[in-house]
């Protein structure tokens, strides 16, 4: 994975209604001329990011728009692949690989991709 990118993929974008930080990230990427690559399919967007070797994928929740992705079945396997490819993963605070799984259906925020963009989020 390249350290920097100009490709972003924002999932759960309804969360910008009450998550100001997520809104600011999307506005930054849009105003800075980043290319939008969002298909509505987590696996397709992550595949595209890994094949291209760059990008950032975010699925962030809010009070009104709950977290959607399960850590055990979706987020940690993807985080493992992205980090092995040289990128980063985060739930907004820690690497997803450092988060303790407490249940089968535990949900989390997902931020994965090029290092600079994951750190920006």
Secondary structure of residue 13 in the 3-state scheme = helix
**pLDDT at site 70:** 96
Q: Domains of the chain, with CATH numbers?
A: 7-120 (3.40.190.80)
**pLDDT at site 88:** 97
Task: List helix spans (H) across 1-121.
Answer: 20-31, 42-52, 76-84, 115-120
Average pLDDT over residues 70-77: 96
Residue 76 near residue 97 (C-beta atoms within 8 A)? yes
Its pTM stands at 0.93
Average pLDDT over residues 42-56: 95
Above pLDDT 70, what percent of the chain? 100
**pLDDT at site 80:** 98
């Amino acid at each position: 994975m390249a350290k920097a990118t100009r490709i972003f993929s924002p999932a759960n974008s309804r969360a910008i209604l009450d998550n100001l930080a997520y809104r600011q990230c999307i506005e930054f990427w849009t105003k800075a001329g980043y290319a939008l690559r969002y298909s509505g399919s987590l696996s397709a967007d992550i595949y595209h990011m890994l094949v291209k070797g760059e990008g950032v994928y975010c699925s962030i929740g809010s009070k009104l728009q709950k977290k959607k992705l399960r850590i055990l079945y979706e987020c940690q396997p993807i985080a493992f692949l992205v980090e092995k490819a040289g990128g980063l993963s985060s739930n907004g605070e820690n690497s997803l690989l450092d988060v303790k799984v407490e249940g089968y259906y535990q949900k989390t925020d997902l931020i994965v991709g090029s290092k600079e963009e994951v750190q920006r989020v």
